[in-house]
A and B are shown apart, each in its own frame.
Chain A
Amino acid sequence: MDAFSKLPEAINELVAEFSSDPVFGTLDAGLTQYSLWLLIAAVVLLIIVGVFVKKQTLVPKGVFVNGVEYVVEYVENDVAKGVVGTDWRRHFPFLATIFFFILVNNFIGLIPGMKPGTGAIGCTAALALVTFIYFIYFGCKKHGVLGYLKSLAPAGVAFPMNVFVWVIEVFSLLLRPITLAIRLFCNMFAGHIVMGSFSLMATIFAQPLLEHFTAMNAVGALPSIAWLLILLIIYVVEFIVAFVQAYVFTVLAAVYIQIAEADAH
């Protein structure tokens, strides 16, 4: 099949398109297409929250207010109260902001022609770094710097062993922002690559039929229907992934905050 022979090259081109390109400036100082969409998502988030604050009443009315409030309550109950515990109110602004920031970015990226800000490692690394510094800050604030460093090793372990465990825990601690950043980036990046691949396949298989309508080309275009159906399913799954990844990032941030502030490990 001619279409299959074109596929590797087309996939390579697709992956290249997903690489960061500066819209203006360079990759060191400027804005890439991901940064641009991230800034647009940031503005959208501000507008959404602004409109919500203005429309929020004691008795919520309308799909928009109820929908946003449902998500806010979800973050409040399932993430802030459920994971952080009694001190949830202090950390709610950070957790809610990071959740909505990621969520809006993820959803913006699902609109055809747009890209998710979270589809670039630079953006997810920034969020992960802020999260890392945030929970370290609160850990140090609660226990003191030395106290926090000591608290990394579990209590009750004998002397030579506790040093070994402490070193492992420090590595684990340092890996947290990296895993946070890479998990979110890879999920969004890979999801878009998969969606792009299936849409490419649907196009490549249907292209001969669109150019010359023959029975042979029509038979050759039949797999396009399957690719389109799979694309639709993946698109729906990506909506779920967009929400789940925002949730996972926020829950992990809440868990790290809770661990950092916990009295004993």
Chain B
Amino acid sequence: MKFTHRIAGVAATTACAALCAPVSAFAEEAGGASILIPKMAEFVPALIAFLIIWVVLAKVAWPQILAMMDERSKRIEESLDEAERTKKQAIADRKASDDMLTDARRQAADIVLAARQDGEAERQRIVAAAHKEAEAIIAKAHRTVEDERQALYADAAASIADLSVSVASKIVEKTLDEDGEQRRLIERYIKEAGSLNASN
């Protein structure tokens, strides 16, 4: 309303000024200079046309156009601010994720190291146990061999004693008492001979 009043005021003043202007009186008599004298047939339509267009555009067009351009500027400004905020957030997130990644890598390295240490300890334990078991098996085998060797010696001594007594009986044609003194002597002899052989 205020704007319409203002335009109406300007229009009224313009119309008064136009009517007061003594233009047509000069137009006919000024000759070549008459092109510089406004003709009412041009002045009035131009004035009315301009005032109407001014009012129409000022009411309908320019506020809407400016509002749209202002809205665009505002949106662009907001978008730039938002982009700036997003960029900062992205940088912060990236830093956080980098930190997390570094931490995870460190933890993974620690876990791998611990696993290696555990594995090494287990390996050493298994090897030690295997060694111990092998030594036990070897010792047992040694013992078994020794026992069998002892048994063999005992059997061999008995056989040799019997054979010797038998041979001696045949030589002296006299049956020696198999459970007697001669037999004990022979057995003692064989035992001594066996111990000498074993120590060698």
Given A27-B39, A28-B40, A97 and B45 contact (CB-CB distance below 8 Å): no
Q: Is A220 close to B, CB under 8 A?
A: no
Q: Report chain A residues within 8 Å CB of B36.
A: 121, 182, 185
**Which of B47-55, B140-148, B153-161 faces chain A?**
B47-55
Residues in B45-81 with C-beta less than 8 Å from chain A: 45-47, 49-54, 56-58, 60-66, 68-69, 71-72, 75
Contact partner, A49, options B34, B47, B61, Cβ 8 Å = B61
Given A49-B57, A137-B6, A42 and B49 contact (CB-CB distance below 8 Å): yes
Q: Report chain A residues within 8 Å CB of B71.
A: 58
The prevalent SS among residues of B at the interface is helix
Count of chain A to chain B residue pairs whose CB atoms are closer than 8 Å in the complex: 149
Does B10 lie within 8 Å of A134, measured CB to CB? yes
Contact partner, A38, options B34, B46, B69, B72, Cβ 8 Å = B46
Q: Is B17 close to A, CB under 8 A?
A: yes
Contact partner, B35, options A28, A69, A121, Cβ 8 Å = A121
Does A126 lie within 8 Å of B50, measured CB to CB? yes
Given A35-B45, A126-B46, A137-B6, A28 and B62 contact (CB-CB distance below 8 Å): no
Residues in B68-100 with C-beta less than 8 Å from chain A: 68-69, 71-72, 75
Q: Looking at the assembled complex, report how far the CB atom of A118 sits from the nearest CB atom of chain B, in whole angstroms.
A: 9
Contact partner, A122, options B41, B63, B65, B68, Cβ 8 Å = B41
Q: Report chain A residues within 8 Å CB of B17.
A: 129, 133
Contact partner, B58, options A31, A69, A97, Cβ 8 Å = A97
The prevalent SS among residues of A at the interface is helix
Q: Looking at the assembled complex, report how far the CB atom of B190 sits from the nearest CB atom of chain A, in whole angstroms.
A: 122
Given A50-B61, A52-B65, A101-B50, A28 and B39 contact (CB-CB distance below 8 Å): yes
Does A137 lie within 8 Å of B10, measured CB to CB? yes
Q: Is B119 close to A, CB under 8 A?
A: no
Does A92 lie within 8 Å of B66, measured CB to CB? yes
Contact partner, B62, options A27, A29, A93, Cβ 8 Å = A93
Contact partner, B42, options A34, A52, A89, A130, Cβ 8 Å = A34
Distance A50 CA – B61 CA, assembled complex (angstroms): 7
User: Which residue of chain A has its CB nearest to the CB of B6?
Assistant: A137
Distance A50 CA – B53 CA, assembled complex (angstroms): 12
Q: Is A162 close to B, CB under 8 A?
A: no
Q: Report chain A residues within 8 Å CB of B41.
A: 20, 22, 25-32, 35, 122
Given A32-B42, A133-B17, A94 and B24 contact (CB-CB distance below 8 Å): no
**Besides A49-B61, A93-B54, 17 other A-B contacts (C-beta < 8 A):** A26-B41, A27-B24, A27-B27, A31-B45, A32-B39, A46-B53, A57-B68, A93-B57, A96-B62, A98-B50, A120-B39, A123-B46, A126-B47, A129-B17, A137-B13, A185-B36, A189-B35
